[in-house]
Amino acid sequence: MDVEEIRKLLNKQNTVPDEMPAELKGFNWGAFLLTFIWGIKYRAWITLLAIPLMWFQFPLGLNWILLTVLQIYCGIKGNEWAYKTDYRKSVYEFKMTQIKWAAAGFSIQIILPAVVLFVVCLFLFNNPVDFAQNAQCKIAYDKLKKNLIKTDVKTTQEGIAKNFAGHFKDAYPSGSDVNFVIKGSGQVVDLFYIRFFKPENESCRLVKQNCRIESGFALPEEIVVQGGECTFYFDDYKNIVPTEQTKLNIQKGYNIFKYL
């Protein structure tokens, strides 16, 4: 075999065949489900149109209609585009590669969301009240941890509340309470409170547990089922310590997997 024949053989091996094997024709689920992720691998740059269609919102949901049309088109043309890159593979290897892409697409687009939805439904069915109360405990604790409480022997519990409320735009003092509100539709609704207890003319000490804080929902019971309040102890040195039960509530906080 001379040099010219070798060159022709190499050129033939590096040239994409004009026709794709009939066995490879069909719908490509990997290209349909993963669109631009699949397209980057196979240099099908038209699939990148999926990115702006997913990012920008058009009137009447037009972007989602166009995205679905693009996905269908990618599914139809997918094997043809992939063949231009993987034409050296056997029919079996080509099919197995695209089956893996399809499996990844189904896992990401269908199976994973279904599992997440199942977990969320299981959580909401069993634990909505606990979650709401624990979340409220954590919110209150996060605000108290900022060390905004100022107290000494002469400070009253009403004075503590007034000083504390002054640090927040969504709060106002009412006696020894600090009420946190939500605003909407021209209305202001009390959401939760933080209440201070301090003996008059007495220093706050953690060892005595003589100064405490309670927090709970201020919403009506028909909106939020009322449960146990969160309780903390504090001293004149800006230390805040939750009770053991409150500590457990805070640890759960927003993590729904700790409720399952």
The pLDDT score that the predictor gives to residue 10 is: 44
Whole-prediction pTM value?
0.54
**pLDDT tens, 74-128?**
999 999 999 988 888 888 999 999 999 999 988 888 887 887 777 767 666 656 7
- SS3 annotation, 114-152: HHHHHHHHHHHHHCHHHHHHHHHHHHHHHHHCCCCCCCC
CA 222 and chain centroid, separation:
28
pLDDT, position 219 = 73
Mean pLDDT by 10 residues, the chain (260 residues): 50 63 90 92 92 85 89 93 88 92 88 76 67 87 87 92 93 95 80 93 94 88 63 93 93 72
Residues 6+ apart with CB under 8 A from 163: 148, 149, 150
Residue 84, pLDDT score? 87
Q: Is 121 exposed, middle or buried (0-12, 13-18, 19+ CB in 10 A)?
A: exposed
Query: What is the C-alpha to C-alpha distance for residues 233 and 208, in angstroms, rounded to an integer?
Result: 9
102, 207, 197: which is closest to 156 by C-alpha?
A: 197
* Tokens representing residue 61 in the block: 């949901």
DSSP 66-120: HHHHHHHHHHHHHHHHHHHHHTTS-HHHHHHHHHHHHHHHHIIIIIHHHHHHHHH
| Rounded alpha-carbon distances, angstroms, from residue 203 to 150, 155, 213, 235, 252 | 12, 9, 15, 8, 32
| 30 burial type by CB count under 10 A (0-12 exposed, 13-18 middle, 19+ buried) | buried
Instruction: Give CA angle at 231 (145, 191), nearest 5°.
Output: 75
Do the Cβ atoms of 170 and 182 come closer than 8 Å? yes
Under 8 Å between Cβ of 136 and 192: yes
Per-domain residue ranges for the chain?
3-126, 128-259
- Give residue for tokens 């519990």: 157
> At 222, phi and psi to the nearest 5?
-70, -15
